[in-house]
Amino acid sequence: MTKVILFDLDGTLLPMDTDSFVKNYIKELAPRVAHIIDPNDFVKALWAGTEAMLRNLDHEKTNEKVFEETFLSLVNVKKEDIWPTLDDFYDKVFPTFSYLCEPTPLARQVVEEAVRQGYRIAVATNPVFPKAAIYHRLTWAGIDDLPFEIVTVYEESVFTKPHKQYYQYICDQLQVTPQECVMVGNDKQEDMVAATIGIKTFLVEGCVIDRGEPTYQIDEQGTLEQLVEKIRKKQGIFNQ
């Protein structure tokens, strides 16, 4: 029986071109640390830290810790000398990036309908961003005030997509089995990999990301409009 719906954010509840968004984010961030570190060196260390998070399977280290260790090992800068500038960026500049997204009222309709139907809800967005950046995006999507039990952010999370351990960790935190969950996302690899541990999957059409391989089971797919109706009527995987 389905008890929990896990929602991806970027490209799912918040339609966007993820690659374009990330490119703009890096373009705006790098010059703002130029008084501390060469922007090119910063970008290299930023990507290395991100890659380290994406590879990490040490359950005793948060993604933030993994990023911090890798990033600082590659630059001749102390944390206390650069982190305040990064924090200020996420507080004041990052919120201006909302124009790079295409928010839709359907996002709120989907989540509110899930709550009305008695499902527990969580945001399963890849936790490679700080909490501030992720909560800004929840605000852009118009869902920041909804009762999500978990929002995966890099300060609090271990593991990342597409590791199955990421999804198992969420299930453990919610104290449910994978078979009691549905993963709703737009990425055929990072989101649909949840099927490998028994989570049912729903692929949201519109901003689909597909790298071709590997392929995973997709139980159902459709638009956000169709998703609202399926949840409302408890059809298909929402009726199990």
* Separation in Å, CA 150 to CA 32, 113, 147, 161, 166: 31, 18, 9, 16, 13
Q: How do residues 200-228 score in pLDDT, each as one tens digit?
A: 999 999 999 999 999 999 999 999 999 99
* pTM for the predicted model, two decimal places: 0.95
Q: Domain spans of the chain?
A: 4-16+102-239, 19-98
The token pair at 19 is 């690659």
- The kind and range of the H/E element at 225 are helix 224-233
In the 8-state DSSP scheme, what is residue 124?
-
Report pLDDT digits (tens) over 35-57: 999 999 999 999 999 999 999 99
CATH 3.30.950.10 fits 4-16+102-239, yes or no: no
Over residues 180-197, the pLDDT tens digits come to 999 999 999 999 999 999
